[in-house]
Structure 1
């Protein structure tokens, strides 16, 4: 569509204006609806050394009614000149700036008539180091220091690079050109359309015009990059890395290629751009990764995989982050939420999809089983008095940053998991495909998806979805036994004390129930329900319902005695509910350890991975109280048979779950004071022996149990190495230190300039977990 000024364009503008007017009636801080952008032509000239840039943006707009003032977003930009339709307009040369709302008003001497216009703005700005907006990332190589320039805009930072209508529903097309050093590579959303030399040292790179998209998805980067690529389903798939890292890009390229083919089939709409790049930042970026359409930007540890040093856990993490961001290329980029209050539909779906894709392409990883731990994070947050609904009010785009939390991501993914199970995989996929076809290149609210699902499934999907997204809180399903079994609903509170001001809450819950040894029967619980008595009754069989289950003592005892025969997902569910309800005082705290002590050493490794995480959490709650020594002795006794089964060294051909569990079990034994494990770990760190996974676990133990001299030695290694991954692992190990005085040293390091951005935040988070 580009710059075309036609009746069709005007009609589309009128439709968008109506849409914006509807939204603005409840969101007074959105931009007015009288001017709608259609196309941006951005010419960018950065000065990497001076950390400044100059730019010109030409914007094709549709004006709904005559206006003299045009309001748009701008943050930290200085306007040099403004013109409309090719004529310089003096009144707009010094626009009004609202620094609080990050807006600029362009004052025109004569009104712009209704219809199509072109606004051209020359301006300049600065390049920062904070990895949001337009920024520089510096790193060291054997040849010296290098600098990469890049952008990262979600949710509302495109306005730091160009004046624009920086709201997700204000979609437009973009043509970008950038001046770059001849020996560097420029990357944007689309392929290069033209590259021409403009001096002995510089070139101008112009990219093809994008499809219609939201401003927060725009991407530009210039750096000392290399690219590896291959064709998949007619799309040029590439991985872009800093020079020298191409060997570490092979795994990401392989997985991205498989994922693109899988997603083309699942979504029923082929990826619509001619190329898809996965770009590795030379460090860590705000948010970890960003789904820019056609040019996804990743923190390097989320994209690079070194076959010689990376672990099985690293392998799976790279896949999950790649699959999450690639899912956004459809769910978020092709079809975008209308406003940030529906962020959960983007992020919850992508988190669910990363698991679904992993189960489809790598079933041996049992990622769906691991997802129970992700859902648990959402449940823990949802049990707090400070929780909020999944669908929460967002008044300004800047407020949207507060919505990127465990409720949006993890509860959102759990609710989608529940609905997928209730609707059925085939019909759910059909609903997704109908949704994609109906809303491609557009904006939606969550009911646009769920109304389609309700039509496909013939079930009350909208009622269920509303119950779980419009009200906060985690359902508690209680069992009462007598002549039969009665199920009733309540709400879980982390401290066991209901918020008195809240009325009783109810949810419509698709709830699978099974008598032990028989197939589950799904009921739709709404307030109360009666089910037949059984010697051992399993409620929420398969753990698909977003709820906790509270059993009476006898019913819990009967079920826990059979835990070795339960499916792995239900073993995890029983542990999770016992732990959480024990903490909150709904059930005896002893249930957690009683359940864990009945899990056999040869249980599914994912079950033991969760058990290790629960043991670590319990250990932290004991603090330094006298009972901690007894608990740690119990934990060592519980884990030693597991470690013995896995063996002292990795075994060729063992399951991926065993490989991950082995490192976690060894690290946990070291944490819990196993002297043999601690001594072996310190020796391995000193002599560099063992596999990558063994070294990683040994390093964590050595850092945790470090003496002052050992701490200094690890710190010296962190300061000496130029490898950012090794440096990050060393600082991570130091951040786990148990010695309170040394912990203070870590805080000083993290608050200073020594650690890279992102590493310091991770270090402080880890330290707070070790010293609550």
Structure 2
């Protein structure tokens, strides 16, 4: 409001000033916009008419915009966004008036139009022409390459979230500036041209066709979408009669059947859940070869990276099938939560992403209950807990001060923590009340914008619970609590503090929904922990000391089924009791995962010993569930890596211990698919085989190499189906060196010959998993070639192993300028930093990395760099703690003997 008032005042004063002074005042007023996060509110768009002409051969486009603008306060300025566009200044008119000055602030991506006189209040039309480039940055209006009949072709694609619509047309590029859109495209007549709405008219004139689309309902600029290229499609229809199509590259439409089925089911489910029909006449889902994100929820035209939309029964893995289902369900949930009701500003991004993440699991659980997907949801919670235990984390609601900061919050906090606190709130309120409240929220704010507080108000009204008071600290405060649990006679004492992985403590306070089970999941206590301390009286009074000491007869577990977003630290007696309960299989799958993950985090933070963690893992030795073993595998991988630096003399034995933990179930599953096995068994097999290869299990590696050799000679062999190829590829890389590179060359040959996206990604994801410096450098340099799409390059970095980290760090430093030039406009840059920096575990290396980036940090990866450096410091501290454990060697030896 301050900005609006000041600008209005300056505009009025300038009318009364001499020319030179007026120009100075206007310049000062225009400069007011520089560095601002938000556009002024004295003018807002109501309707865009856009006409675009992409030239796919020259990779440029031209366009015209006519925007109905409502001027609501006295001003002589129109302020909007434009970036990387050549605006024809002579063409700019507002109600027939040409601007006296046109100012472009490139750094802030703002276009300021200064008129000689005060603009008339009410609605007027702003018109202009412009030109732009179909860029290679996978943002704005860009070009993607694909193969058709042996030739490389270009398609034109948009990716506008978060602030890149301004790279396609001048606009008010903020979520709250909702408007209607009427698009017209002029494209080559042989191509498919898609946008948000159905085609209303199409005219062909020789090589060019003009495609006119229906006018859209009001929506935000970041949801506008255009795709132009050669495609096949398959079609379905919802129960309400909405057409749903999946568009693929020519000849691949069969791979869209699974996504189409999930898409139709999702729209039907969400219509019932939100008690609101899908708002548009059609929904298209398109597989894009070059795409930064996993997918983008554009209204009525959802775009996907190919690996997240296409599934082939013969060539795709079980994990790909599951990822496609979750991704499609996520993006279609956005059609309500994000598109119909849109966050007011990026501070509230979590309203979009947290709810779409949570809803996707709800939908997939409905479609595929045998997948046990809510147990797998704990992967998301674990990811969020890990990131949010850093001092360099951020609240769910984070203040955005500049457009360049927005991309950095598309992270596990907005998605996974957001979804996890939603699950926690639903568990507290109850599923029925929660659903009813969400339906009310969608109806109340349909076709408009909302803030977090608006959601809390509706939930309070419907549920009668103090939702705002309960949830405010979870969204506005960074971090989460660890609940300490101690036995005091027959009572239990609880204490909360903020949990930080660096071992420091903070007296943070949350209102925590506590669930507590004592020797049973059926008998639970539920209450809100509102203070630092709380006592639970007489909870174990029915058990005497002997019962409490008997194996499995007594245990207490907080956070039943891990519905709460917090960690739990038990005293020694309760830790032992839970370990016994694990061995006796008296806990749910989710509780097993929570206990293992909490123990891992507490060990890293120095709150529990590594020996204690190893005893807990030993208690899980007979586990065979996919989700539980996936988490155990992740923990063992983490410990095996840190042991190389912390205790090299024990590292080999620690790996052997973990091999013995994973091997029984791996041998039971074997390498070959069985007709009777479940989807989860098919998911578990590659997890265990890959884990064993990373741990250096000779028998698994030998078998992987054997099967690979057969597969290389006969790609149709049944000995190496998609699920187990990564394990075989890693086995091959285990023996590769610059003097024995035949396996490496064979993998490159597979990469170059394969037309399957998943297969190519599998190869990319293991190419640098090698100790040999020359091979690692060759793999890292491979990402600069035309053979690797920019979106996939990070996979090569993620596969660098500890032994090659110095080689990778040297390569990163030497190539940083080139990397910045290639990826500066992309969130992928953060992956480069995280993948390599977090391999290190010493304060000296942290200082070296900090010094290198001191003059090279950019807003797009600044947060990722700080978090990565903090992780290095945390690892260094964990290393020191492990070195100080006198009993560790004996623990490892004892457990090896027992196994």
Tell me whether the two structures share a fold, i.e. TM-score over 0.5: yes
2:592 alignment partner, SS class: helix
The question of whether the paired residues in 2 share the 8 Å contact of 1:79 and 1:95 is answered with: no
> Is residue 529 from structure 1 mapped to residue 543 from structure 2 by the alignment?
no
Equivalent runs, 1:176-575 vs 2, <5 Å = 176-198=183-205, 200-232=206-238, 233-283=240-290, 285-483=291-489, 484-498=491-505, 504-517=507-520, 518-526=522-530, 527-531=532-536, 532-534=538-540, 535-563=554-582, 564-575=585-596
Query: In the TM superposition, what whole-angstrom CA distance separates every residue of 1:704-743 from its partner, at most 9, and x where no partner exists?
Result: 4434331122123323444444322211121333444422
Query: In the TM superposition, what whole-angstrom CA distance separates every residue of 1:60-102 from its partner, at most 9, and x where no partner exists?
Result: 1111134332111111111224354663x4446x722111111
- Structure 2 length as normaliser, TM-score? 0.80
The question of whether the paired residues in 1 share the 8 Å contact of 2:770 and 2:801 is answered with: no
- Aligned residue in 2 for 1:173: 180
- Aligned residue in 2 for 1:585: 606
2:560 alignment partner, SS class: coil
* 1:336 Cα deviation from its structure 2 partner: 0.5
Instruction: Considering fraction of residues, name the structure with more helix.
Output: 2
- CA–CA separation in structure 2 for the residues paired with 1:296 and 1:464: 35
Please, which moves more after superposition, 762-771 or 61-70?
762-771
> Is residue 54 from structure 1 mapped to residue 100 from structure 2 by the alignment?
no
- Aligned residue in 1 for 2:821: none
Please, which moves more after superposition, 720-729 or 571-580?
720-729
2:790 alignment partner, SS class: coil
> Is residue 134 from structure 1 mapped to residue 141 from structure 2 by the alignment?
yes
Q: Which runs of 5+ in 1 are unaligned?
A: 1-23
Query: In the TM superposition, what whole-angstrom CA distance separates every residue of 1:435-493 from its partner, at most 9, and x where no partner exists?
Result: 00000001010011112112222222212211111111120100122231110111111
Query: In the TM superposition, what whole-angstrom CA distance separates every residue of 1:148-171 from its partner, at most 9, and x where no partner exists?
Result: 110001110000001100010000
> Is residue 31 from structure 1 mapped to residue 39 from structure 2 by the alignment?
yes
1:67 alignment partner, SS class: coil
Counterpart pick for 2:657 among 634, 646, 654 = 634
- Aligned residue in 1 for 2:115: 108
Query: In the TM superposition, what whole-angstrom CA distance separates every residue of 1:464-523 from its partner, at most 9, and x where no partner exists?
Result: 21111111112010012223111011111112123xxx6x21110001001012422211
- CA–CA separation in structure 1 for the residues paired with 2:784 and 2:151: 26
Please, which moves more after superposition, 643-652 or 44-53?
643-652
- CA–CA separation in structure 2 for the residues paired with 1:593 and 1:454: 45
- CA–CA separation in structure 1 for the residues paired with 2:396 and 2:99: 45
Counterpart pick for 2:670 among 626, 647, 654 = 647
- Aligned residue in 1 for 2:775: 742
The question of whether the paired residues in 1 share the 8 Å contact of 2:693 and 2:727 is answered with: no
1:463 alignment partner, SS class: helix
- CA–CA separation in structure 2 for the residues paired with 1:559 and 1:631: 23
- Aligned residue in 2 for 1:711: 744
* 1:260 Cα deviation from its structure 2 partner: 0.9
- Aligned residue in 1 for 2:11: none
The question of whether the paired residues in 1 share the 8 Å contact of 2:624 and 2:665 is answered with: no
Number of positions where the alignment pairs a residue of Structure 1 with one of Structure 2? 740
Q: Which runs of 5+ in 2 are unaligned?
A: 1-31, 541-553, 712-716, 806-838, 840-899
> Is residue 665 from structure 1 mapped to residue 669 from structure 2 by the alignment?
no
The question of whether the paired residues in 2 share the 8 Å contact of 1:235 and 1:276 is answered with: yes
Query: In the TM superposition, what whole-angstrom CA distance separates every residue of 1:118-152 from its partner, at most 9, and x where no partner exists?
Result: 11111111110110111001123443111111000
The question of whether the paired residues in 1 share the 8 Å contact of 2:671 and 2:724 is answered with: no
- CA–CA separation in structure 2 for the residues paired with 1:538 and 1:28: 49
- Aligned residue in 1 for 2:679: 656
The question of whether the paired residues in 2 share the 8 Å contact of 1:82 and 1:119 is answered with: no
Equivalent runs, 1:681-760 vs 2, <5 Å = 681-688=704-711, 689=717, 690=719, 691-707=721-737, 708-760=741-793
- Aligned residue in 2 for 1:14: none
- CA–CA separation in structure 1 for the residues paired with 2:37 and 2:464: 39
- CA–CA separation in structure 1 for the residues paired with 2:724 and 2:71: 64
Please, which moves more after superposition, 610-619 or 657-666?
610-619
1:512 alignment partner, SS class: strand
- CA–CA separation in structure 2 for the residues paired with 1:248 and 1:737: 34
- Aligned residue in 2 for 1:82: 91
The question of whether the paired residues in 1 share the 8 Å contact of 2:76 and 2:119 is answered with: yes
* 1:116 Cα deviation from its structure 2 partner: 1.3
The question of whether the paired residues in 2 share the 8 Å contact of 1:152 and 1:290 is answered with: yes
Structure 1 residues 525 and 66, CA gap change in structure 2 (3 angstroms): closer
